[in-house]
Amino acid sequence: MGVTIFRGLHANLRPDAARLYWEAFGGKLGRVMGPEDRALAFFQRVIRTDLCFAALDGEGRLVGIAGYKTPAGSFAGGSWADLITVYGPFGGRWRGWILWALNRGVDNDRFLVDGICVTRAERGRGVGSLLLAALCDEAREQGYPAIRLDVIDTNWRARALYERHGFTVAGAERLGLLRYLFGFSTSFTMVRPLAPEAE
């Protein structure tokens, strides 16, 4: 396959990571985070290069990325100040309120994934599985007993990947009226217990 997983992200790959994140999640975030140029500027600004794993091909191109959250921050979260800087005082504030309503924050009992993205050309080739394995290893190293992620009802492909890797649905949250903005009606919480690594 010729893909290598690295901890963190080199600064020169930040624009590629922002575009990859937008390609993966723009379908559900587009009406709130668009237009595209503003969304790319926002994600390029806020991405935490220390809270992710990057998948690079043999030529050093970014083909996948997996972010996570900690009590100190999240891979692609940003702040109200970041939103206002990119979208202006009014645009930043209304986007902030909507995203706050969608966001569940940090899970202190389980390691929380903040998005897995793979380029279209590399999907189905095992890159997502490699990134998921790296996240599970990181969760174990940090002492978490389980890893948690959220997947929307329209992303059946991702849900199938997670189920193959031992994740099961632990809960569901309906969006109510927000479904008209985000294009999906239910978000499923999926959890996988983490056995300690063999000595």
User: How many alpha carbons lie under 13 Å from residue 94 in its C-beta half-sphere?
Assistant: 9
* Cα separation values, 26 from 47, 85, 145, 198, Å: 15, 20, 31, 39
Instruction: Give the Cβ contact number of residue 22 at 10 Å.
Output: 22
Q: How far apart are CA 199 and CA 140, in angstroms?
A: 13
- In the chain, the N- to C-terminal Cα span, in Å, equals 29
For 21-26, the CB contacts below 8 A with 24+ separation are 21/47, 21/65, 21/76, 21/115, 21/117, 23/117, 23/119, 23/120, 24/115, 24/116, 24/117, 24/118, 25/115, 25/117
Beta bridge partners of 39: none
Per-residue pLDDT of the chain (199 residues; tens, 9 = 90+): 589 999 999 999 999 999 999 999 988 888 899 999 999 999 999 999 999 999 999 999 999 999 999 888 899 989 999 999 999 999 999 999 988 877 655 567 899 999 999 999 998 899 999 999 999 999 999 999 999 999 989 888 899 999 999 999 999 988 777 776 777 889 899 999 998 764 4
Which residues are CB-contacts of 41 (< 8 A; sequence separation ≥ 6)? Answer: 86
Break the chain into its structural domains and give their ranges: 4-193
- Which residue's entry shows tokens 């900690």? 70
Separation CA 120–CA 181 (nearest Å):
25
**Can you give the pLDDT at residue 183?**
74
Q: Report pLDDT for 185.
A: 85
Fold of 4-193: Aminopeptidase (3.40.630)
